[in-house]
Chains A and B, each alone.
Chain A
Amino acid sequence: MGTSFGRGGATTFQQDLANSDAILIMGSNMAENHPVGFQWVMEARLKGATVMHVDPRFTRTSAMANLHVPIRAGSDIAFLGGIVNYILENERWLDEYVKHFTNAPVIIDERFQDTEDLDGFFSGFDPDKRIYDTSTWHYAGMPVQETAGERAKGGTKGEQSGHGAQAGHLAHGEPPEEDETLQHPRCVFQLLKKHYRRYTPEMVSQICGCTKEQFLEVAETLCENSGRERTSAIVYSVGWTQHTVGVQYIRTAAIIQLLLGNIGRPGGGIMALRGHASIQGSTDLATLYNVLPGYLPMPHAEKDTDLASYLDNHAGTTGWWGHFEAYFISQLKSFWGANSTEDNDFCFDYLPKIDGDHSTYQTAMDMIDRKVRGFFLFGENPAVGSANSRLQRFGLASLDWLVVRDFVEIESASFWKDAPELETGELKTEEIGTEVFFVPAASHVEKDGSFTNTQRLVQWHFQALEPEGDCRSDLWFVYHLGRKIREKLAGSNDPRDRPILDLTWQYATSGPLEEPSADQVLREINGIGPDGKALGTYADLKPDGSTACGCWIYCGIYGDEENKAARKKPGGEQTWVASNWAWAWPLNRRILYNRASADSKGRPWSERKKYVWWDGRKKKWVGEDVPDFQEDKPPTFVPTDDAKAEDAIAGDHPFILQADGRGWLFAAAGLMDGPLPTHYEPHESPFDNPLYSQRANPTRQLSPRAENPYNPAPSDAYPYVFSTYRLTEHHTAGGMSRTVPYLAELQPEFFCEVSPGLAKERGLEHGGWATIITSRTAIEARVLVTERMKPIVVDGRPVHQVGVPYHWGTRGLTKGDSGNDLFPGALDPIVHTQEVRAASCDIQPGRRPRGKALRELVESYPSTVEASA
C-alpha cells in the first residue's frame, strides 16, 4: 500500500468496518483468524451490508458471508483486475475523486510499454539479471525518484517493507503533463484501461474457476455500494502477502478502491489484518534488515557511501518525505546522542551497510554455508513456521551458537534431539555442533510495554506481576546483553568498537531484576527537542542535530510528557472513533488520507459519509478524526513552482506522503515487478497463463539448491494444489497454542482437508491417514473429507485442493508433521515474503514411511534445482 497511498499501514480501523455498505474479504479468513475484529463485519451485516468472501476454501468466514466465491489459489489478481476492468468498462468510477485525488490524468513516459505490448513483460526487462530497469515507467517530462525505501540500482532486488510508510517521490512539484479529460492515450487512466481490457468476466471465469455470474455479482455489489452516499471496504491478510506477487495483489485492491473513491472515507479503505500482536510495530521499529525505524532505508554499501550521498539518494523534495533529513539525523541522535555531531556526519559511518538480500531465507542458506555462525531467536520458531522448514533446521544445525528466547522449549531449541532429519539419518545429535542457550522469556503480563495492532494503534499493556525464575523480558535481555558487551569492550581502541561503545545505552532499571524502563524507551522513540522535553509532532524535527527521535512516525506518542499509548479512556465514554483510547501513528489519525472524505472543494461527499471536512468559517479542517492534512491548508490551495515538502502539496491532494499528493493508480516508482498489477501463475502452478506467454512473475526470487528443490511445473507427478493456513484454535507455529491445554484439546491433531472427489480419486479414507508429497519432503496427516473443499474447475479441468493447517511440530501437547515443510523458498521479489499459499503436491493414502525410506519416497518424485523462468 506504500506505493499506492504513501504509507503501508491499514488505511482504516476495525471499528469503522461497521460503517461499510459492502465488505470484500479476500486473502483473509477473518472470522477464524481475527474473530474479535470480525464483530465489526457482523455488525455491518446486521445493518444491511453485503459481506463477500472470495477464497479457495469454504471457511468459517464463508459461512458468515452473503456471498462466497471460490477461486483457484493464486488467481486473485485476475479476479481483482476483472473488477478494475468492470469499473472502467461500465463507467462506475467516482469521477471527481479520480480526477483530483489520483494520478489518473498524469501522462507517462512515451517509452513505456505495457504487458499488452510485450506479452507479459513491461518495458525495461533485463532477462539475464531478471530485473527491470524502471526508468521508462516514469511521469513524462520528469525524472521520478524512487521511494524512500530503496533504489533499484546495482542489481539488488526490491527492498521494501510490506507494512511501511514508503512513498513515491517526484523530484519536484506537480507532474508536468496532465490531461484532465483523461483522454490522452498515455495518461494513466487510458493505460489502465488498456492493461486490463482483456480481464473480462469470461477471462476471470477461465482463470479463477468461478462462474461469470459469481464474478459479476461481486463486481456489481462493490460498484453499487460505492460513491458519494455509500462506501465499501476491502479486507486482506497473509493470504495475499504470502505469494510471489503478493505486493501486487494489494496494489490491485488499491486501484479498485481509488477508482471507486473508497480510500480515506468512513466505511471504506483497505483493512490489512496482521497475524501477530505487534507485527506492525516490529516493522515500524524495524527488526527488518533493509529499513531503520520509521521506514528510513538502511544505507547501501555501494550507493550510500556517506551522509551526503545517502540523503541525496533518499530524501524527498515534495510531500512529507521532504523532511527526510530531519527524520534521519534525529534518529542518529537518538542512537549515538552527544557523540553524533555535524562534524562526524552525525555518526552516519557507524551504521553498518547492506549490499544485497539479507532476509531470513538467505540467512538460513548462509547458515548452511557457514557464513552465519551465531543466531538469536526472539519468540520465533523457524523450524516449524517457515517455508521449507527442513532447510531452516539444516541451518540451525550448522551454527556455532544459537540463543532461543521463548516461553516453552520450541522445536527451534530442541532440533538437535528431535528434528525429523534425525529419524531419516540426515542429521545425528552427536555431530551437531550448535551450542544452544535457551533463555526463558517473560510473558506479556510480566512486563510493561506496547504492541502496535493491525490498525496502527499503539496500545500499552501494564505489568501485572514479576516473572518467575530465570524468565525475563526481551527488554531486559537486550539491555543487559548490550551492557555486558559494552563492559567487555570498554577501553578498546579498535574503530569497529566505536559504534557499540558510543551508543546511548543509559536506561534506568528498577526492582530486584533490574528491569529497564519500557516507558523511558518509548519516550526515546518519541523523541525530544532542544530543551530536552518530549516532542509533540514530527513536524518539529530538525536536520541540524538539535532534536533526537528514535522513530519519526511515532513522534507525538509521548507528547506533553504523557505516555499516550497508555490512555485507557473507556470506549463507551467517547465517540465511535475513540481517539482517546491509546494512540495511532501518525499523530493519532485513525483513518488515513481522511481529507479524501471531503470532495475536492472540502465538502462532505454526503451527509451519510461525513467524516472530515473544511470549515470555511474556522478556516480549518474539522470532523470526527484528527485531519490527515495540514489543518489550515484550504482545499483551493495551489503550491508555487518552487515549493518544497508539504508546501508542494495542493489543497485537493489528500495523499500527503506522495510526492504529488495523489493516490497512485499507476506506480511510476517504487515497485520492481511492474507499475500495474498483472496476473502471473504461482511458481508451482499446474496451469499456463491464458493472458500472456510469460507464465510466472519474471522477477520472482528463486533460491534453488539441494536443500530447496522445486517441483517441476507443470508436472503430472504433482497433480494437486495445496495451501497452508491457520485455524482459530491455534496460533502460527503453535508455540503459543499446542502447549496450552485448553487450545490443544480443541484441535488436537494435524489433519488435512480434502473433497469427497479427491478422496475417491486417491482412495483416501475419512479419519484415516494421508501422505502429502512435494519435492522437499513428505508429511502425514489425518484425513478430513469435507464438502467445504470443492474442486475448482479451470479450463474445464477440475483442480483438487488439499488444505493443510500448519500449526504442528514435533513438540507440545499435540504433535504432528509441519505443513510448511512442504513449501519451497520462492519469494515475493519486493518484500521477500514466502509463497506459502499455493503450490503443487501429490497425496497418497496411508502414513508416510519412516527413517531412510522417507527420503527414498521423496526422491522417487521429480524435482528440479533449475530456476526456470
Chain B
Amino acid sequence: MKPHELIGRWPVLRQVAEGDTLGRGKAVQSAKTEQLRPRTDEAQHVVQSICPYCAVGCGQLVYVRDGKVDQIEGDPDSPISRGRLCPKGAASKNLVTSPSREYKVKYRRPHGTEWEELELDEAMEMIADRVIETRTATWQKQGDSGAATERTMGIAMLGGATLDNEENYLIKKLAMGLGVVQVENQARI
C-alpha cells in the first residue's frame, strides 16, 4: 500500500473526512469489510438439487467453489418449499462434507479384527465373484411345493428409500436378471 493510501485508511483521518467523528460507522470499516460480498458470488457454478432427507422434497441450490461444495441453501423457485429448509436440509453441506464421511473402500476379511485397504476395482471383482459363487451354490430350481422358482434364496438386498429412482430401477432389474427375489427397502421398516 502506498503511503498516501495508508494515510487515507488511517481511522482517525477517515473519521474526520467521512463525517464519522465517533468512529461508529463507515470510517471504521476495514478493507476486508469494505470488500465484503456473499461468498456465493465466487461460486464457479450453482445447480438445482433436491434435499436428500425426508420426502417433503425441498428444492436446494448447491454452490461449488474451487471444486468443493461451498454452500447449500433453499431453492426459492420450488413451489413446495419456497426456499425454506428444516435443520436437516440446512445442514446438507455439513452432511456432504462431514468429517465422518468415508472416501476409501474398507475390507474386513472373515474373522478379521481390523479393517484393511482394498482397491475399488478389486473390491468390485471380488463382490462379483461372491455373487456368482453364492448364486450357484444356492440356486433353487423348485420351491418346497415342487413348483418352478428359478431363483437364489442365498442373496438379499435391502435399501432404496434414500436412493434415486433410476438406482432403484436398476437394482430391481439386476436382481431379476440374477434371480434374486429378496429385494426390500425402508418402506417396510
Contacts and interface: CB of A to CB of B under 8 A. Distances in A.
Answer whether A and B touch in the complex at a CB cut-off of 8 Å. Answer: yes
A43 B130 CA distance: 54
A543 interface: no
Interface string A612-647: 000000000000000000000000000000000000
Contacts of B62: 445, 464
A380 interface: yes
A198 interface: no
Contacts of A438: 102, 105-108, 115
Contacts of B52: 277, 443-444, 451, 736
A728 interface: yes
B16 interface: no
Interface stretch (B5-13, B26-34, B139-147): B139-147
Interface in A805-836: 812-813, 831-834
Q: How large is the interface on B (under 10, 10 to 19, 20 to 34, 35 or more residues)?
A: 35 or more
A376 B68 CA distance: 30
Given A400-B134, A485-B131, A736-B53, A378 B91 contact: no
A353 interface: yes
A698 to B, nearest CB: 21
Interface residues of A, number: 167
A496 B179 contact: yes
Given A282-B160, A355-B144, A435-B110, A484 B170 contact: no
A719 interface: no
A739 B45 CA distance: 27
Contact of A374 (B56, B91, B131): B131
A551 B168 CA distance: 12
Chain B CB within 10 Å — which of A287, A353, A551 has the most? A287
A382 interface: yes
B147 A351 contact: no
B62 to A, nearest CB: 4
A715 interface: no
A391 B117 CA distance: 29
B79 A737 contact: no
Nearest to B130: A401
Contact of B130 (A301, A374, A576): A374
Contacts of B95: 407, 443, 736, 740
A385 interface: yes
Contacts of A400: 110, 130, 134
Contacts of B188: 162, 288, 359-360, 831-834
A674 interface: no
Contacts of A852: none
Contacts of A440: 101-105
B57 A355 contact: no
A831 B102 CA distance: 34
B78 interface: yes
Contact of A437 (B59, B127, B137): B127
Given A280-B55, A445-B49, A363 B184 contact: yes
Interface string B161-185: 1111111111111101111111111
B14 interface: no
Contacts of B138: 371, 373
Given A161-B187, A305-B147, A438-B106, A521 B54 contact: no
Prevailing SS type, chain B contact patch = mixed
A328 B3 CA distance: 81
A121 B90 CA distance: 50
Given A417-B113, A440-B101, A445-B69, A278 B158 contact: no
Interface in A726-748: 728-732, 736-737, 739-743, 746
B18 interface: no
Nearest to A828: B188
B156 to A, nearest CB: 5
Chain B CB within 10 Å — which of A273, A285, A379, A438 has the most? A285
Contact of A500 (B143, B166, B177): B177
Given A287-B159, A380-B186, A581 B166 contact: no
B121 to A, nearest CB: 9
Interface stretch (A454-462, A687-695, A755-763): A454-462
B38 interface: no
B176 A376 contact: no
A482 B169 CA distance: 13
Contacts of A472: 120
A472 B103 CA distance: 9
Contact of A474 (B107, B111, B164, B181): B164
B42 interface: no
A13 B56 CA distance: 10
Interface string A392-409: 000000001101011111
B153 interface: yes
Contact of B165 (A386, A451, A736): A451
Contacts of B147: 301-302, 305, 353, 355
Contacts of A865: none
Contacts of B58: 36
Nearest to A446: B96
Interface stretch (A86-94, A185-193, A310-318, A425-433): A425-433
B142 to A, nearest CB: 8
A284 B87 CA distance: 28
B17 interface: no
A453 B57 contact: yes
Given A279-B186, A358-B181, A464-B69, A33 B134 contact: no
A276 B161 contact: yes
Chain A CB within 10 Å — which of B88, B158, B165, B179 has the most? B165
A462 B88 CA distance: 20
Contacts of A298: 181
Nearest to B105: A470
A833 B161 CA distance: 15
Contacts of A484: 124-125, 128
A36 B77 contact: no
A587 interface: no
Nearest to A334: B173
Interface string A292-316: 1100001001100100000000000
A449 B49 CA distance: 9
A386 B188 CA distance: 10
Interface string B40-70: 0000010111111111111110101001110
Given A279-B187, A437-B105, A731-B53, A287 B172 contact: yes
Contact of A302 (B69, B78, B145, B154): B145
Interface string A751-789: 000000000000000000000000000000000000000
Nearest to B95: A740
Contacts of A351: 176
A367 B154 CA distance: 9
Given A335-B173, A355-B149, A431-B111, A407 B86 contact: no
A216 to B, nearest CB: 33
Contact of A288 (B51, B110, B183): B183
A444 B49 contact: yes
Chain B CB within 10 Å — which of A33, A301, A831, A833 has the most? A301
Given A279-B185, A430-B113, A488-B129, A36 B84 contact: yes
Nearest to A500: B177
A742 B183 contact: no
Contacts of A736: 52-53, 88, 95, 162
Interface in A337-357: 349-356
Contact of B128 (A163, A301, A488, A499): A488
16 contacts: A277-B53, A282-B187, A285-B160, A305-B148, A363-B184, A371-B153, A380-B159, A434-B110, A459-B59, A462-B48, A484-B128, A496-B150, A554-B165, A581-B77, A737-B88, A740-B98
Closest 3 CB pairs of A and B: A378-B159, A571-B79, A453-B57
Given A382-B189, A400-B130, A440-B103, 17 more contacts: A14-B80, A15-B80, A35-B86, A274-B55, A278-B55, A283-B185, A287-B157, A287-B172, A335-B176, A366-B156, A440-B104, A450-B164, A452-B165, A453-B80, A459-B50, A574-B79, A736-B53
